[in-house]
Amino acid sequence: MRLSLPLAVLFAMSFNLHAADAPATGKTALVIHGGAGFVPRNAITPGERKAYHEALNRALDAGNAVLSRGGSALDAVTAAVVVLEDAPQFNAGKGAVFNAKGGHELDASIMEGHTRRAGAIAGVTTIRNPIRLARTVMEKSPHVMLAGDGAEAFADEHPEIERVPNSYFDTDKRRQQLEKAQRDEAAKGKREAYNGTMEAPTYFGTVGAVALDSQGHIAVATSTGGMTNKKWGRVGDSPVIGAGSWADERCGVSGTGWGEFYIRNAVAHDICARMAYRGDSLETAANAVVNEVVTAAGGDGGAIALDRDGNIAMPFNSGSMFRGWIRPDGSRGTAIHEGE
Ligand code: ASP
């Protein structure tokens, strides 16, 4: 059927209004990730595997405790991401990757779907839980994104934001990753001049959460240390609204992967836009963006996504993605590799 332009616009508007005005179902749902990557199954010891699952379950419990007492999706994603930031296994907060200078610069964003409020911070160095500062930007400043020294100065005005020395974020595992990346870079530098492309990273590790609360509202939070050996104040997709995080009335997405590709393809927003404009299901939209758009562009990674009916999608093109979920029927799980 071909619709004339005004009719098509009316049709699209009625679809949007319908989705936005539909009464809340009372269902709650939560999905989290601890980063996508090419982590070979045998590269994780049984002890590490157990610690990953435990951390993911602690984050699910923290988010679900909020949702099951009727709390907001915003509080639920904050609670879940704080747990993941505090867990040294993931590349956010404690355990964040090192930049090229041997320090840590952290990025985070948060968004509430039905109000379209959003907050983000980039390149902070002393904030124990960057997601809390992103939320403070959203709630207590007139801005959406603050970066570097300015974001730190904003934090100075909010004593409730816990500060730590930059070395708090150090872990031996991440230092070894930096040393390996710098050795590889030096060896490569001798072989060939920089040709404008980046070496494909093998493991990401950003954390994120998307929640649906009993009011039918959706929120998303994403937090990261970025990419190992990053230089020049590099900022990835995680604090970029529409790239690493997006939430609206019907859909929320948190991404993890090679951030440059996620920014160029507005990944998080594209997934939700496909649902809004084309009427795609969550599963179809999320799979298409991760497995077709990002893959075709040459990027790696995954995303977690959730819709207003409590459907959950967790596509990734990288062999593994640390993830966990609680569906509206209460069923829950955590997984690392494909097929789990
Ligand atoms: N997307 C993040 C970045 O590019 C990395 C990750 O997902 O771990 O900064």
Q: Copy the structure tokens of residue 210.
A: 């998307």
Q: At what angle do helices 130-140 and 148-156 cross, to 10 degrees?
A: 80
Q: Ligand 1: residues whose CB is within 6 Å?
A: 35, 91, 204-206, 224, 226-227, 236-238, 256-257, 259, 262
Distance CA 156, CA 8 (A): 50
The reported pLDDT for the residue numbered 194 is: 44
**CA 55 to centroid of ligand 1, rounded, Å:** 19
Sign of the dihedral through C-alpha 269, 274, 279, 284: negative
The reported pLDDT for the residue numbered 14 is: 47
Of the residues 78, 206, 228, 256, only one is catalytic, namely 206
Q: What is the pTM of this model?
A: 0.91
The reported pLDDT for the residue numbered 18 is: 46
Paired residues of 211 in beta bridges: 30, 219
Give one word for 310, left, alpha or beta, with left for phi > 0 and alpha for psi -120 to 50: left
Domain residue ranges of the chain, discontinuous segments joined by +: 25-188+204-337
CATH number of the domain located at residue range(s) 25-188+204-337 in this protein? 3.60.20.30
The reported pLDDT for the residue numbered 30 is: 98
The reported pLDDT for the residue numbered 11 is: 47
Residues of the chain whose pLDDT is less than 70?
1-23, 189-202
